[in-house]
Amino acid sequence: MEEAVKTKAGVPRRRWEGAIKDPAFGPLRQRVVLETTAEEFLRVLENGGVSTNVFLRRLHNLAMDMNWQPWPRNSSKGMLPPCARCNRPT
């Protein structure tokens, strides 16, 4: 989360600094991206408000843009094809 703040300056940086202090981000605060689980993200979504969810989406976009996910992106939207998502052969 601190990496997102490092990329900002001025007012946007202050917004990010305030946003990541939100208690809803607790489950993710000290985690490495590859070690996070879906349940942790769901807890953030359930406990946070609209602003928290917006910043969670921005963190997700940053992770996708920086190629921090453990699988290759197959399209411009970063989604895997249906057969890869459900682990069924084509």
How do the pLDDT tens digits run along the chain, 90 residues long?
788 888 889 998 999 899 889 999 888 888 887 788 888 888 888 888 899 889 888 888 888 787 766 665 555 555 555 554 455 454
Domain count, the chain: 1
pTM for this model (two decimals): 0.66
Task: Please work out, in degrees rounded to the nearest 5, the angle formed at the alpha carbon of residue 45 by the alpha carbons of 42 and 46.
Answer: 85
Q: Which domain holds residue 30?
A: 2-86
Query: What is the C-alpha separation between 58 and 17, in angstroms, rounded?
Result: 14
Q: Provide the CA 77 distance to its chain's centre, in angstroms.
A: 15
Whole-number pLDDT of residue 84: 47
Q: Count CB atoms within 10 A of the CB of residue 21.
A: 10
Whole-number pLDDT of residue 11: 93
